[in-house]
Structure 1
Amino acid sequence: MASASSSPHHRFAILVAGGSGSRMGTEQPKQFLPLLGEPVLLHTLRRFADAALGVRRLIVVLPAEQVATWQALCAQHAQVPPHELVVGGATRWASVKCGLVLLADEAAGTVAVHDGVRPLTPNRVIESTFEAAYNHGAAVAAVVPKDSVRNLSQQGSYALNRARLRLVQTPQCFEINLLRRAYQLPELSTFTDDASVVEDLHAIHIVEGDYRNLKITTPEDMLLAEVLLRNQQL
C-alpha cells in the first residue's frame, strides 16, 4: 500500500461503474454484461492493470446493490487484476468523491478517472493522458466529431465548426491534489464529467483520443466491441 511518501510519478485509477441496463434493454447492469464471455468491467480493469502503464492502485466504484454481483463474477473468472472496491454515491460526482477517499493517504501522484464501460481504451490513450496530466495538471482524451454539428437557437439552428469542437472521452487524468480541491466544492448540475468539476480551478489539456474508445451504452455498442476485440484492433 502506498503512503504519504508517494512520488509525483505515481499513478492511480478510479473506475466508475454505476450504470444500469435501461438503454441496453437488459435487466443486468451494462458493466456486467458478457463481452466475449467476460464482464465488460473486467475488460476495462485489465486495460489499466497493464504493467507497462505502472498504475499503482486500481479502485472500482460500484453501487451498494451491485457489489455482491461483482464479487461473484470475479470469483468466476481468471486473471482478475488486484483492485480496491468502494461503494459509490447517488451521482457520478459523488461516486468519484468516494473513490478519492480511498486515496486519502496519497500525498502526490496522478489519478485517472475512467468509465467502467469503456473496455476498449488503447494503451496509447491511457499513457498519453497520464503523461499530459503529469506535465499540465489536468488532461482529458477527446476526438473531433465525425459528423456535422448544429446548435439549436430560437430562430432554428446554425452550423458549428467541427475543428473547434471535441467529443470528450475518458480517461480524464489530474494531479491528485488538484482533483481533491475540485471535489471539495459543492456539486453543481453543470458537472457532466471530471473536467467540468476541475475547469474552474485549472485549464484542461486535450489529448488525442480514439474512436474505438467507445462507451458501451446500446446493443450496437456491444456488437462493435466484440468485433474490435476479436480482431484485436486496439
Structure 2
Amino acid sequence: MPAFPASVPSEPTAPHSNSRFAILVAGGSGTRMGADRPKQFLNLLGEPVLLHTLRRFAEAAVRVEKCVVVLPAEQLETWQQLCHEHNVTIPHAVVVGGETRWASVRNGLAQLAQETAGIVAVHDGVRPLVSAAVIEQTYAAAATHGAAVAAVAPKDSVRGLAQQGSYAMDRARLRLVQTPQCFELDLLRRAYRLPELPAFTDDASVVEDLQPIYMVPGDYRNLKITTPEDLIVAEALLRAERGII
C-alpha cells in the first residue's frame, strides 16, 4: 500500500470510554452521478467532497482522536495525489475496503484493533456538510445509551407498497436515518463478528439485535451526495455557511 502523506502514525490512545474514533466509508463509484470520477473525489468549492467530510471530524470542537478513511484499493493512489495537491495535513489512517459496505466497515474497525474502549462513529464519506453539533450530539448519546444515530422526520407523505396498490403510512412514526451512527467500540466489534446480514442497510441494523438504537435529531442539510442535483445543493449550502455570495 502506498504511503499517505496525510496518514500520521500515532500511539494507541489510553483506554477510556471518552475516547472518540471515526470511520469514514467512501466506496462510491459515481455511476449515478454520471461523473468521470468517484463521487467522493468530486469537486466541491475547489476541494474533494471527501476532504470536506474529513475536515468536519478533524475540528477541535469534535475531539476525535483517530480518523480512519476506507476506500477501494483502486482509489488509494488518487486519494494520495489529492492529499498532496491540497496540502492535507489532517492525521488519518487509510485502509482498503471490502466488496460490500459491511465488509468495508469491518476493515475500518480492524484499524482500531489496539483501542480498547471508546465511542466510534461510522459516517458516509459523501456527507460533507454534517455539522459539529450533530456529530457531538450523536457521540454524546452513544456514550450514554451505547448506540445512537442521527435521523430526521420525512417532509413528504409516505406510502408503503402492497401486493395490490399501496397504503398510507404515519410519517410521524418514521425517520430518515443519516450518519454519523455512533456506537460503543466493543458493541460494534461484537456486532461485526456476526455473519453479514442479507438485508444489510446500515450499521444500526447490524447492532440493533444487541442494543436498542437511540435517535438524535439530524439535520436536513446533512445530505448524502448521490446525484448531480445533490452536488448543486451542497455547493449552495456550503456557500451560505461560509458567507460566500
TM-score range, shorter chain: over 0.9
Structure 2 residue aligned with 1:137: 146
1:172 equivalent among 163, 177, 181: 181
Percent identity, aligned pairs only, is 69
Q: Could you give the per-residue CA deviations for residues 165-218 of structure 1, whole angstroms, max 9, x where no partner exists?
A: 000000000000000000000001211100000001110000100000000000
Q: Structure 1 residue 32 and structure 2 residue 51: aligned?
A: no
Report the 3-state secondary structure (helix = DSSP H, G, I; strand = E; otherwise coil) of the residue aligned with 1:55: coil
Q: Give distance in 1, aligned partners of 2:49 and 2:89.
A: 12
Root mean square deviation of aligned Cα: 1.2
State which of 119, 125, 128 in structure 2 corresponds to 1:116: 125
What's 2:111 paired with? 102
> Take 1:2 and 1:16, find their aligned partners in 2: how far apart are those partners?
23
Match of 1:83 among 92, 97, 104: 92
The corresponding residue for 1:184 is: 193
SS of structure 1 residue aligned to 2:69: strand
Matched positions, count: 234
Structure 1 stretches (4+) deviating beyond 4 angstroms?
none
* Amino acid aligned to 1:183: Y
* TM-score (normalised: structure 1): 0.97
Which ranges in structure 2 are unaligned for 5 or more consecutive residues? 1-9
| Alpha-carbon shift at residue 2 of structure 1 (Å) | 4.6
CA distance in 2, matches of 1:144, 1:189: 26
TM-score by length of 2: 0.93
Given that 1:6 and 1:109 are in contact with CA atoms closer than 8 Å, whether structure 2 keeps it comes out as yes
Structure 1 residue runs without a partner (length 5+): none
Letter in 2 for 1:188: L
Q: Which residue is equivalent to 1:50?
A: 59
Partner of 2:227: 218
Aligned to 1:203: 212
Write the distance in 1 (CA, Å) between the matches of 2:163 and 2:40: 39
Map 1:7-18 → 2, pairs under 5 A: 7-18=16-27
Distance 1:209 1:182 in 2: 24
Residues 44-87 of structure 1 show CA distances to partners (whole Å, capped at 9, x for unaligned) of 00000001111000000000000000000000003441100000
Q: For the residues of structure 1 that align with 2:144 and 2:11, how far apart are their CA atoms?
A: 22
Amino acid at match of 2:111: L
